[in-house]
Structure 1
Amino acid sequence: MEKSTRALLMKSFAGIVAMILMLGYLLPPVFKLKETDLAIAIVCGLVLMLIDLWQSLKSKED
């Protein structure tokens, strides 16, 4: 496998794992507290995380 392809796969895998871990950490308080404002803030943070991951994957540098 080519080095750049392997690096892209590792970045993708690390980003997905980070997103899953962040969801696992932030969602239990939302379900327990049932606060709409908190849920909106967490969703905004997760969207920003996805945008950052997308931009990181699109960039050519490692």
Structure 2
Amino acid sequence: MAANPHARIENWIWILIYGGLFLVILGIATGRLDAFTGWMMAVPGAVATVVGVVLIYVRSRLKDDKP
């Protein structure tokens, strides 16, 4: 049985948003000790968060398979 593609997108949305926010916070905390390492953690985290938010929009535009 194939997995529901909508459920798969929803899983990726929350993984990207929460994981990205975690990296941003970790980058901010690390940036107090080493600015370069902090930026190297915070920027990919912010990008992952933005991708998760964009996927929310994409998911809202997908049509349901059910009639």
Normalised TM-score (structure 2): 0.47
- Which structure's residues are more often helix, by fraction? 1
> Highest CA radius of gyration, 1 or 2?
2
Q: Please, what TM-score do these two structures have when normalized by structure 1?
A: 0.50
Query: RCO higher in 1 or 2 (8 Å CA, sep ≥ 6)?
Result: 1
